Amino acid sequence: MKDLYDALIESIPEDAPLDDVYTTHFGAVVFSNGNIGFSEFRITEDRERRPMTDPGYKPGRSLRELASLVKSWNLTEAAMGVAALNAYYNNVKMAAANGLRLASGLHSEDRNADPFITYQTAARGRRVTVLGHFPYLEKLLGSVCDLKIISSHPNRGDYPDEAAEYLLPESDFVFIGVPYFLNKSLPHMLELAENAFVGLVGPATVMSPVLFEYGVDELDGFIPKDPEITRRVLLEQENRKIYAAGEKVSLRKTDYEAFKKMVEENAR
């Protein structure tokens, strides 16, 4: 089977333009043909063990070429690659093409696209493992299920990354944050969680149905709707949360397959 990262990269048209690239303290921002993509990863000196070899923006470079940096072992470069993927996949036009139903306004009810709220009932009494820290996670799920949190920088009560080998195979639900996409451990995490319902979670989640072919069941991310607000927030010109610029979204594998079937039947 084609490598997960290669499959995402190769779905981007070769002529998709790259207009600009920025790096900030939290990750990277990419501009392409009026679309904006970003990576939310906070880069710190202790995580930058591999030197950068690529400046990101080069005259004449394509978006697809930049996206290939997602495979870099330097996390700044990998963040630029994720941002490039999101510039292609995470925009209003592509979201509609993939069956996402967006609200008519700038925002929608965020609760409907928050898996830690929507799965409170389904996860009751079940084994739930979350890779990464998310706001209000313990308050939302801690009292209803057997919740375990894995983190590269564990807080008190968390499990280290190495615990994934033991916790994921026996989990019913697994939710994975973007850092595990960046550090290239995602394919292995998906193998370990093959018997669980798996969701990728966070505003920089790549909203591509390609990921459904590799063991992902749900994508929970973000679609920018206001380019100007998005630009100001991401380039730290305005002190607001990124959610002020668009809509939280959720796409399940089953919903996408039903949408694709409907499109195919209408095309006959």
Q: In this predicted model, what pLDDT tens digit does every residue of 23-42 receive, in sequence order?
A: 888 889 999 999 999 997 66
* Confidence at residue 263, expressed as pLDDT on a 0 to 100 scale: 87
Among the candidates 89, 117, 150, a domain finishes at 89
* Confidence at residue 24, expressed as pLDDT on a 0 to 100 scale: 84
Residues in contact with 135: Cβ distance below 8 Å, sequence separation at least 6, in sequence order? none
* Confidence at residue 2, expressed as pLDDT on a 0 to 100 scale: 66
Among the candidates 62, 89, 116, a domain finishes at 89
Shared domain for 34 and 115, answered yes or no, is no
* Confidence at residue 31, expressed as pLDDT on a 0 to 100 scale: 96
Q: Is the pLDDT of residue 52 over 80?
A: no
Among the candidates 29, 56, 89, a domain finishes at 89
* Confidence at residue 51, expressed as pLDDT on a 0 to 100 scale: 63
Cα-based torsion angle of the residue sequence 29, 240, 238, 31 in order, rounded to the nearest 10 degrees: 20
Shared domain for 69 and 147, answered yes or no, is no
Shared domain for 138 and 189, answered yes or no, is yes
Beta bridge partners of 131: 150, 176
98 found inside a domain: no
Shared domain for 80 and 111, answered yes or no, is no
- Determine the average pLDDT of the residues in 99-116: 80
CATH number at residue 145: 3.40.50.11590
Beta bridge partners of 27: 24
Shared domain for 158 and 191, answered yes or no, is yes
| Secondary structure (3-state) at 17 | strand
Shared domain for 120 and 82, answered yes or no, is no
175 found inside a domain: yes
100 found inside a domain: no
Q: Is the pLDDT of residue 44 over 60?
A: no
Question: What confidence tier does 242 reach under pLDDT thresholds 50, 70, 90?
Answer: confident
119 found inside a domain: yes
Question: What confidence tier does 43 reach under pLDDT thresholds 50, 70, 90?
Answer: low
* Confidence at residue 176, expressed as pLDDT on a 0 to 100 scale: 97
203 found inside a domain: yes
Question: What confidence tier does 54 reach under pLDDT thresholds 50, 70, 90?
Answer: low
Question: What confidence tier does 48 reach under pLDDT thresholds 50, 70, 90?
Answer: low
Higher local confidence (pLDDT), 113 or 9: 9
- Determine the average pLDDT of the residues in 234-238: 85
Shared domain for 16 and 110, answered yes or no, is no
Shared domain for 204 and 169, answered yes or no, is yes
Least confident interval from 4-8, 156-160, 161-165, 238-242? 238-242
Shared domain for 142 and 251, answered yes or no, is yes
Strands 127-131 and 146-150: parallel
Q: Is the pLDDT of residue 105 over 80?
A: no
Residues in contact with 225: Cβ distance below 8 Å, sequence separation at least 6, in sequence order? 92, 102, 106, 245, 246, 247
* Confidence at residue 42, expressed as pLDDT on a 0 to 100 scale: 62
101 found inside a domain: no
Residue with tokens 């009751």: 124
The model's pLDDT over 141-175, given as tens digits with 9 standing for 90+, comes to: 999 999 999 998 888 999 999 999 999 999 999 99
Q: Is the pLDDT of residue 1 over 90?
A: no
**pTM for the whole thing?**
0.93
Q: Give residue 130's domain range.
A: 106-225+240-266
CATH number at residue 37: 3.30.390.100
Shared domain for 250 and 145, answered yes or no, is yes
* Confidence at residue 236, expressed as pLDDT on a 0 to 100 scale: 83
Shared domain for 179 and 82, answered yes or no, is no
19 found inside a domain: yes
Q: Is the pLDDT of residue 16 over 90?
A: yes
Count of structural domains within the chain: 2
95 found inside a domain: no
